[in-house]
Amino acid sequence: MFRRLTRERYLTDSELKRFMETVRTRRHKNQPRDHAFFALLANTGIRPSEARALTRDDVHLGGREPWIRVRRLKKKRPTSDDLQIPQGLATTLCAYLSYLPVTENSLFRITLRQAARLFQLYRKRAHVHRCPMYALRHTAATRIYRATRDIKIVQAVLGHETPDVSAIYAHIPRSLLVETADATTPIV
């Protein structure tokens, strides 16, 4: 049986805001973890497994340019990339680290299955279209592409070997296509 290939959807800006607002305002003992976890996925585009592998030593929030060290598996060889993170995300991670017990080295104690279930719970509460948790990676890639219009930057952030793979993730919104068509001078 063949699986039909479909393109992953990404969350629009309004959907992402609703989703993150739902995560941020839910009253639950693990709310700080959930907020930091999903904010990290939505803003950096790292995989959920890469987020789960983060330790305290991988997070560098001091200074003007906060960054994280992401361990990736490229061609079955472990590598690591240093990613700059936005100041707002650094603030969220700082708040989470202050909540986390000092003896805990692992940043997120959550299984991928738990994370996927939580994503679906928050997605439904935020009235966001049906999509998998991996849509947050597509959302981050799309937002980065929209901000920079450079597929090489998307490639570097997502850790892809070639820009062709990154192009799958960076969904080009229709408004950008219209803007590009209007910006070019027709030759008739």
Predicted pLDDT of residue 166 = 82
Predicted pLDDT of residue 171 = 72
Predicted pLDDT of residue 146 = 87
**DSSP conformation letters of 29-67:** TTHHHHHHHHHHHHHH---HHHHHT-BGGGEE--SSS-E
Please tell me the total count of domains within the chain.
1
Task: Give the amino acid at 182.
Answer: D
Domain that holds residue 88: 13-130
pTM (2 decimals)? 0.86
- Is residue 102 assigned to a domain? yes
Predicted pLDDT of residue 188 = 62
Predicted pLDDT of residue 72 = 85
**Dihedrals phi, psi of 89, to nearest 5 degrees:** -70, -40
- Is residue 45 assigned to a domain? yes
CATH number at 28 reads 1.10.443.10
**Dihedrals phi, psi of 12, to nearest 5 degrees:** -70, 170
- Is residue 185 assigned to a domain? no
Predicted pLDDT of residue 51 = 96
SS3 74: strand
Rounded CA separation 65/74 (Å): 26
Which of the 8 DSSP states describes residue 20? H
* E-strand stretches of the chain: 59-60, 67-74, 77-84
- Is residue 27 assigned to a domain? yes
Rg of the chain in Å (alpha carbons): 18
- Is residue 89 assigned to a domain? yes
The upper half-sphere exposure of residue 87, i.e. CA atoms within 13 Å in the direction of its Cβ, equals: 3
Query: What string of pLDDT tens digits covers the 188 residues of the chain?
Result: 334 444 558 899 999 999 999 999 999 999 999 999 999 999 999 999 999 999 999 999 988 899 999 998 766 777 888 999 999 999 999 999 998 998 999 999 999 999 999 999 999 999 999 999 999 999 999 999 888 888 899 999 998 888 888 888 777 666 666 666 666 666 66
- Which residues 6+ apart lie within 8 Å of 66 measured at CB? 60, 84, 85, 87, 89, 90, 93
- Is residue 39 assigned to a domain? yes
- Is residue 171 assigned to a domain? no
- Is residue 81 assigned to a domain? yes
Predicted pLDDT of residue 38 = 98
